[in-house]
Homo-oligomer: A and B are copies of this chain.
Amino acid sequence: MVATSTPTATLSHLQCKECGAQYPLAAMHVCELCFGPLEVKYDLAAIRAQVTRETIERGPHSIWRYRAFLPVESEQPIDLGTGMTPLIRAERLGRRLGLRNLWIKNDAVNMPTLSFKDRVVSVALTRAKELGFTTVGCASTGNLANSTAAIAAHAGLECCVFIPADLEAGKILGTLVYRPTVMAVKGNYDQVNRLCSEVANSQGWGFVNINLRPYYSEGSKTLGFEVAEQLGWQLPDCIVAPLASGSLFTKIHKGFREFVQAGLVADKPVQCHGAQAQGCAPIAQAFAEGRDFIAPVKPHTIAKSIAIGNPADGVYALDLARKTGGQIAAVSDPEIIAGIQILAETEGIFTETAGGTTVAVLEKLAKNGHIDPDALTVVYITGNGLKTQEAVQGAIGEPLTIEPQLGSFARAWERSQTLERLEWQEVLV
C-alpha cells in the first residue's frame, strides 16, 4: 500500500537507523535485517527548492506550514489547527527560578485535544489515509488515545484504542466521548504496547505508534520548527523536555538540525535536557550510571502519561543528552505536583503531570547550575492539567464557602488575610 507521489512530495524512503538498510514508504517500522527502528528519509534538494522563511510564513497557522518536512504526500492533510501553540516569555517563572531568558512552549493548549500528541496523530492519520487504512488505533498512556480518537472521528476513520486499565478518569472519558472502541488492558503501558503489535499484525490496522511509527514520530519535529520560527528564526541555547519513549526529545532536536540543513536558521549548539519521574526513570538511571543501555523498569508514578518502563527511543535520548552537554534528571511525585502548582501560579498555565515533571526538573537543573541563567531556555509543556485532576486534588486548597451577603464575605476575607499573614510570619521565623 504505497500512495502515488504528488509533485510537491519530498519523501524518499524508509531507512534503518542502525544498519542503513532501505525500504519503500509502506506501513512498517522495524528493519527486517537487524530489527532496528526505521526512519523516514527525505529529498533535501526538493525541500530546499520549495522552502524559504517566507513560504513558511505564508502557510497555514498549523503544523502544515512545515509540510515539506513532514512524511505525507497529500495536498490536503488533516488540519484541525494543530500546532503553532504559543511560545510565551516566562518572566514570572524565570524570576522564581533565577533564569533571565526563559520561554514556555505551551502544548497544553494544542488543538484539538490539548497535548502534543495532536501533532503526531495528525501526521500519522494523514499518512494512514494515504496508505489506504480504514481502521486506526494506538497503544496509549492517555493523551495519544484522546488524540487518535478525536482526529479519527473528524476524518471518518474507524478507531480502536488500547490503554492501561488504571488511567486517570479524565483521559478515559476524553477518549470515550469520540466513540471509538476502547480496550482497557489489565497491565502497564509496555504490556499494552506488546499486545498492540500483535493486533496490528493480526487485524491489518494502522496503529499510529506501531506500524505507522516512522511517519507518526516525525510530527514531533514541528515542536523544534515552531520554536525556531517563533524565536525569530534562531535556535534556543537550551531546551528541557519530558522523556517517555524518548521520541519527542530526539525529534525536537532533529527539527532543529533540519532547519539548519535547509538554511533556515544559523547553526549553533543546543543543550538538550530530559525530564523523567523518579517512579519511572529508566533513561535518567542509565544517564546517572554512565550506561549506554536502558534497563527496563516497572512504572509507579502519578506521571502516567510518561510512564514507559521500556522506552523505544531511550538509547537515542541518552545519546542526545550526552552529545549536547545536557542532563537527564528525575523528580519525585511531590516535586511533580509542586511543579504543576508553580507553573499555574506564576504563568497561568495549568499542565498535567508530565508538565509538572518538566518544570520540577527545570527547577532542579537551575538550582544545580546546569542551566546558565542567561541562556535562552525553552521548556516544553506537553499536556493539559484538566486531564489529570486527581494529581492536584487535595494539594491546592479549597474555596472559602460563604453566604451571599457582604458581611459573610468580609469575615471570610479577613480570616484568609490573617492566615496569609501568619503563613508569612512562619516563613520569616
Question: Which A residues lie at the B interface, using CB under 8 A?
Answer: 61, 80-81, 84-86, 88, 92, 106, 108-114, 149-156, 160, 163, 165, 169-170, 172-174, 176-179, 181-187, 191-192, 194-195, 198-199, 202, 340-341, 344-350, 384-387, 389, 392-393, 396-406, 409-410, 412-413, 416
Contacts and interface: CB of A to CB of B under 8 A. Distances in A.
A181 B414 CA distance: 12
B350 A409 contact: no
B176 A397 contact: yes
Contacts of A108: 112
Contact of A341 (B160, B179, B182, B202): B179
A150 B86 CA distance: 15
Contacts of A178: 344-345, 348, 350
Contacts of A172: 399
Contact of A169 (B85, B88, B156, B389): B389
B181 A405 contact: no
B81 A202 contact: no
Nearest to A108: B112
B81 A88 contact: yes
7 contacts: A155-B348, A165-B401, A174-B385, A177-B396, A181-B400, A384-B386, A386-B386
Contacts of A412: 183
A225 to B, nearest CB: 16
Contacts of A195: 404-406, 409
A106 B111 contact: yes
B194 A150 contact: no
How many copies of this chain sit in the oligomeric assembly?
A: 2
Nearest to A398: B176
Contacts of A398: 176
A396 B179 contact: yes
Contact of A154 (B177, B348, B409): B348
Contacts of A113: 348, 350
A209 to B, nearest CB: 17
B112 A181 contact: no
A42 B165 CA distance: 57
B348 A80 contact: yes
B345 A184 contact: no
Given A81-B85, A84-B61, A173-B393, A402 B181 contact: no
B402 A184 contact: yes
A81 to B, nearest CB: 3
B348 A152 contact: yes
B346 A153 contact: yes
Contacts of A344: 150, 153, 177-179
B112 A112 contact: no
Interface centre among A92, A113, A409, A416 (most CB of B within 10 A): A409
Contact of A404 (B114, B192, B385): B192
Contacts of A403: 185-187
Given A176-B396, A181-B416, A184-B399, 17 more contacts: A80-B86, A80-B348, A109-B109, A112-B348, A114-B386, A153-B346, A165-B401, A176-B399, A177-B385, A178-B348, A179-B341, A183-B402, A183-B412, A185-B401, A186-B403, A192-B404, A198-B406
Given A183-B412, A186-B402, A392-B173, A81 B109 contact: yes
Contacts of A92: 153-154, 156
Contact of A349 (B84, B150, B170, B183): B150
Contacts of A401: 165, 184-186
Contacts of A110: 109
